[in-house]
């Protein structure tokens, strides 16, 4: 009842325009907050998988391809830098650099996916083993996020090439690049968990 009363009081009597007018100055902050809440909800999912790896396989480290693990981690790290540079470039109004860095980020993301695919095809363990189940689930879910990130970056690059976004207005770029950094952040935890941990 109380909730209904508050909602009624906040709703403008003469239509939807007034409410929009009051909310508009807060829009960037609300977008940021919404995105971070999304990241928080995603973090629970990734954290659950990370914990399940230790539950299923303990701290063993079966024969994973260490050089490949380090290589794809480095590639993802480089892609974070190019993504950062792309965002900085559009913030300065440099569209050419923005598009170049964005395309480099997409290319690095695709190379990362190639590395993961190669790891899957040459893995010494199977999906039915405890470590294999954790490994394929974790890398699989992460790869899904990388693919969706690449698709979103491609959409941003397409829109950017058509003249969208500017130094003054580039929330679309910022949001997608934040997502890309989040994918990198997840891998920061997944890499040692899958490749390095061993007692």
Partner 1 sequence: MKKAHGGKSKAGIGWWIFVGLAIMTGIEYLIAIALNINLFFLAQIAILKAGLIAVYFMHIGRAFERPEEHEE
Shortest CB 142 distance to partner 1, Å? 14
Shortest Å, Cβ 4 to partner 1: 28
How far apart (Å, rounded) are the C-alpha atoms in residues 148 and 125? 27
Minimum CB separation of residue 114 from partner 1 in Å reads 20
Give the residue, chosen from 26, 60, 122, 126, that forms a contact with partner 1 under the rule CB under 8 A.
Answer: 26
Binding residue (CB under 8 A) for partner 1 from 45, 51, 117, 167: 167
How would you class 87 by CB atoms within 10 Å of its CB: exposed for 0-12, middle for 13-18, buried for 19 or more? buried
Q: How many residues bind partner 1 (CB under 8 A)?
A: 48
| Euclidean distance between CA atoms 70 and 88, whole angstroms | 27
Query: Please, what sign has the CA dihedral across residues 95, 100, 101, 105?
Result: positive
Using CB under 8 A, which of the segments 9-17, 106-114, 135-143, 173-181 binds partner 1?
Answer: 173-181
Given 38, 84, 118, 120, the residue binding partner 1 (CB under 8 A) = 84
Q: Is 44 in the site for partner 1 (CB under 8 A)?
A: no
Nearer to partner 1, 36 or 158 (CB): 36
Contacts by 116-122 with C-beta closer than 8 Å and gap 24+?
Answer: 116/72, 116/142, 116/143, 116/146, 118/68, 119/64, 119/65, 119/68, 119/69, 119/72, 122/65
Distance CA 139, CA 122 (A): 14
Residues 65, 119 contacting (CB under 8 angstroms): yes
Structure letter (DSSP) for residue 13: T
User: To the nearest whole angstrom, how small is the minimum distance from the Cβ of residue 78 to partner 1?
Assistant: 8
Single out the segment in contact with partner 1 by CB under 8 A; choices: 73-81, 123-131, 133-141, 146-154.
73-81
List contacts with partner 1 (CB under 8 A). Answer: 25-26, 28-29, 31-33, 35-36, 59, 66, 70, 73-74, 77-78, 80-81, 83-85, 87-93, 167-171, 174, 178, 181-182, 184-185, 188-189, 191-192, 195-199
């Amino acid at each position: 009842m109380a909730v209904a009363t508050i909602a009624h009081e906040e709703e403008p009597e003469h239509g939807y325009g007034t409410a929009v007018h009051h909310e508009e100055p807060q829009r960037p902050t609300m977008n940021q907050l919404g995105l971070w809440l999304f990241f928080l909800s995603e973090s629970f999912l990734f954290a659950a998988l990370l914990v399940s790896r230790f539950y299923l396989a303990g701290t063993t480290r079966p024969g994973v391809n260490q050089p490949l693990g380090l290589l794809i981690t480095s590639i993802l790290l480089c892609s974070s830098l190019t993504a950062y540079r792309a965002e900085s470039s559009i913030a300065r109004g440099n569209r050419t650099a923005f598009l170049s860095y964005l395309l480099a980020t997409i290319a690095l993301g695709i190379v990362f996916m190639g590395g993961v695919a190669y790891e899957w095809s040459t893995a010494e363990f199977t999906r039915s083993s405890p470590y294999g189940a954790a490994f394929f689930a974790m890398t699989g879910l992460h790869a899904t996020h990388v693919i969706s990130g690449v698709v979103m970056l491609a959409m941003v690059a397409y829109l950017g090439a058509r003249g969208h976004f500017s130094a003054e207005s580039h929330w679309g770029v910022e949001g997608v690049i934040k997502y890309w950094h989040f994918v990198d952040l997840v891998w920061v935890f997944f890499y040692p968990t899958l490749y390095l941990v061993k007692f």
